[in-house]
Structure 1
Amino acid sequence: MQHRYYWILKWVAVATTLGMLLILLGGALVTKTDSGLGCGRNWPDCNGSLIPKEITTEVLIEFSHRFVTGAVSILVLILVFWTWRSLSHVKEVKFLGFLAIFFLVLQALIGAAQVLWGQGDFILALHFGISLISFAAVMLLAMIVFEVDQKFDADRVIIRRKLKWHTIGVTLYSYIVIYTGALVRHTGSSLTCPSWPFCYNDKPFSLPSKMYEWVHMGHRLAALLIFIWILYIMIHAFKHYKDQRVIYWGWIIAFILVALQIIAGMFIILTQLNLVVSLLHSLFITLLFGLLCYMILLVARSSYNENKR
């Protein structure tokens, strides 16, 4: 690939990744502001016209989200086909490109179905998780584009069995945590438990008495467990992987992100669903999931490197 065109590809990769992040945060904003029907039961048009004639806050949020999704979808297609053409020698590229397109289309269809016919809370909770998979695939494609320079050791990692299984386990478990968080949001359970860290601090050891309290406290417990798990993995990487920078710093960053996630979750309760705090909560889990998926990619590369020995 000619040098000047490679730099263009880098810019496309960065723009597409940021665009996917905007899609995720835009979807969270639609949910948190109850703007899902800002365009009525109309899709892809908005209240019967391609460009909305009457602009309200809900219309602006919903229509902007649809517009950004459409624009970024074009960028995703450009990035996928460009990497397929120029970086086909990298074995992960075709699979990640397929994931990016497939889950981007799937999340758009679920969003459209919600507008046209409505969906149950348990189905809607999947929407954010499906969008995350598409984001992670695009993010990994972007990182592969930057790895071509070979300025760090991402293609030479050797991960031992213990860390491999912890990486796979915590990544799969993170999806459960994400689903429980989305379920809290879509069932309207965010303030069912008004205290933190317990549902009611004046009754710290009492069990939840309502379904929504179980949903909310189940998410808090799941978040606590992933915090402890990633802390353990970070300590393990700190002790045994100082010679592999991408592993060493990757797990330090993962711990910082999960800690920020916990803090944001606490402030959601303390600030009574402050919108900025809620969006930061979505941002941190998005970045954490993307990073964990990258660690899975490194696990696969490690197995490949071991087989070559």
Structure 2
Amino acid sequence: MSGTLTVPRARAGAWLPRLAWAALIYNVLVILWGAVVRITGAGAGCGDHWPLCNGVVVPQSPTLHTVIEFSHRLTSGASGLLAIALVALAFRVTGKGHPARLGAVLSFALILLEGLVGGVQVLLGLTADSTDPARGFVQGVHLANTFLLLAALLLTALWASGAPGLRLRRQGLVGGWSYVGLGLMLVLGMAGAVTALGDLLFLPADGSTPIETVKRDFAVTASVIENLRVVHPMLAVLTSAFLVWLGVFLRRERPGAEVSRWSGVLWGVLAAQMVAGFANVALKAPGWMQLVHLLLALGLWLALVMLVYRALTDLSVQGGRARVGGNV
């Protein structure tokens, strides 16, 4: 894939970027609704059946938990249909080698994986009040896949809108440090999923201070999920410092309006997320605060992906020679 690739101006082609952006926004809403399922303990609302709900296609006389879980399955299924439509439209209106085709296929594959991971959780009983350590691992994998899915949908939307493809190799330190930043965010997100699970299952309802809570997390009777709760805030501080530096570094190495804009957005969302993180701890992780924290985490990830994308594709003049990202 080389150069700046654009979608044909045909009527069907005009719908491709619209569908791609709509799929991205819709999936963010589905992810937030999935968090509601976890927070309300409704993950076992359909029993240990998947893809059926309590052994039937449509549950009869459902409880509130069943309604919440079943609605999440329906909305998740709709995201799969959106992904299929995105693939079909991308292959119809773009030429061979167009990056939007790759993005659409990756998005569909990651949505399938998202559903499979969710199904594994249900079939293994890693829902509701389960404190099995395997639940923490699956939650982390689920969140990492969610991040990758949103990145794929974002890139698909950009490529469908006529943005250039990516050249991942021979990007020098810009590429290397950018990939480190993306990796740190993935690990931070996975740790955050485990911490959110620990807050749901083990956070004391009494007036314990944060220090007392940490001591409890490392008591002899504490589970692995409790032990890992402290990892997320420590990683958050490390990752935040690195992302601030990364923004400064990319501004210097790949000067341009887009890099400056998205580094600013990244820093703004990062500041809001740090405030939300402290508030989440101080308020003992109420459900609404967890949703805000997750929404900001998704925004931070998308801002980072945009910054890295712009840095890898923006024209950079170094040593008298122009360089630009062109191929995946």
TM bin (shorter chain): 0.7 to 0.9
Greater relative contact order (Cα 8 A, min sep 6): structure 1 or 2?
2
CA displacement, residues 27-60 of structure 1 (integer Å, 9 cap, x when unaligned): 2111111111111122222223322222332112
Would you say 1:19 and 2:26 are equivalent positions? yes
> In structure 2, what is the Cα distance between the partners aligned to 1:71 and 1:306?
34
> In structure 1, what is the Cα distance between the partners aligned to 2:227 and 2:205?
9
Would you say 1:251 and 2:263 are equivalent positions? yes
> In structure 2, what is the Cα distance between the partners aligned to 1:163 and 1:192?
44
Q: What is the aligned counterpart of 2:138 among 112, 118, 123?
A: 123
Q: What is the aligned counterpart of 2:179 among 161, 168, 172?
A: 168
Indicate how the Cα distance of structure 1 residues 249 and 191 shifts in structure 2: closer, same or farther if over 3 A, else same.
farther
Q: What is the aligned counterpart of 1:7 among 14, 17, 41?
A: 14
Indicate how the Cα distance of structure 1 residues 195 and 252 shifts in structure 2: closer, same or farther if over 3 A, else same.
farther
What amino acid is aligned across from residue 159 of structure 2 in structure 1?
I
How far 1:254 moved relative to its partner?
1.4
Q: Which runs of 4+ in 1 moved over 6 A?
A: 153-156, 192-196
Would you say 1:227 and 2:236 are equivalent positions? no
Percent identity of the aligned residues?
A: 21
What amino acid is aligned across from residue 249 of structure 2 in structure 1?
H
The answer to whether the 8 Å contact 2:251/2:259 transfers is no
Alignment partner, residue 142 of structure 1: 157
The answer to whether the 8 Å contact 1:261/1:281 transfers is yes
What amino acid is aligned across from residue 124 of structure 1 in structure 2?
Q
> In structure 2, what is the Cα distance between the partners aligned to 1:99 and 1:39?
29
The answer to whether the 8 Å contact 1:193/1:200 transfers is no
In the comparison of the two structures, how many residue pairs are matched?
A: 298
Q: What is the aligned counterpart of 1:215 among 228, 237, 245?
A: 228
CA displacement, residues 239-278 of structure 1 (integer Å, 9 cap, x when unaligned): 565x512211111111222222222222222223222221
Alignment partner, residue 289 of structure 1: 301
What amino acid is aligned across from residue 224 of structure 1 in structure 2?
V
The answer to whether the 8 Å contact 1:25/1:283 transfers is yes
The answer to whether the 8 Å contact 1:84/1:94 transfers is yes
The answer to whether the 8 Å contact 1:30/1:36 transfers is yes
Q: Report the secondary structure of 2:218's partner residue.
A: coil
What amino acid is aligned across from residue 195 of structure 2 in structure 1?
V
Q: What is the aligned counterpart of 1:55 among 55, 62, 65?
A: 62
How far 1:302 moved relative to its partner?
5.8
Indicate how the Cα distance of structure 1 residues 161 and 178 shifts in structure 2: closer, same or farther if over 3 A, else same.
same
Q: Report the secondary structure of 1:46's partner residue.
A: coil
Indicate how the Cα distance of structure 1 residues 22 and 160 shifts in structure 2: closer, same or farther if over 3 A, else same.
same
**TM-score if structure 1 supplies the norm length?**
0.82
How far 1:290 moved relative to its partner?
2.6
Alignment partner, residue 115 of structure 2: 108
Would you say 1:305 and 2:317 are equivalent positions? no
Alignment partner, residue 280 of structure 2: 268
Q: What is the aligned counterpart of 2:249 among 227, 236, 247?
A: 236
Alignment partner, residue 181 of structure 1: 192
The answer to whether the 8 Å contact 1:129/1:175 transfers is yes
Q: Report the secondary structure of 1:272's partner residue.
A: coil
Indicate how the Cα distance of structure 1 residues 154 and 97 shifts in structure 2: closer, same or farther if over 3 A, else same.
closer
Q: Could you tell me which runs of 5 or more consecutive residues in structure 2 were left unpaired when the two chains were aligned.
A: 1-7, 127-133, 316-322
The answer to whether the 8 Å contact 1:99/1:133 transfers is no
Alignment partner, residue 131 of structure 2: none
> In structure 2, what is the Cα distance between the partners aligned to 1:307 and 1:19?
29
How far 1:238 moved relative to its partner?
4.9
The answer to whether the 8 Å contact 2:218/2:226 transfers is yes
How far 1:161 moved relative to its partner?
3.8
Q: Report the secondary structure of 1:200's partner residue.
A: helix
> In structure 2, what is the Cα distance between the partners aligned to 1:227 and 1:98?
32
> In structure 1, what is the Cα distance between the partners aligned to 2:51 and 2:216?
45
> In structure 1, what is the Cα distance between the partners aligned to 2:206 and 2:243?
27
Indicate how the Cα distance of structure 1 residues 240 and 298 shifts in structure 2: closer, same or farther if over 3 A, else same.
closer
Indicate how the Cα distance of structure 1 residues 42 and 154 shifts in structure 2: closer, same or farther if over 3 A, else same.
closer
Moved more, 83-92 or 124-133: 83-92
How far 1:11 moved relative to its partner?
2.4
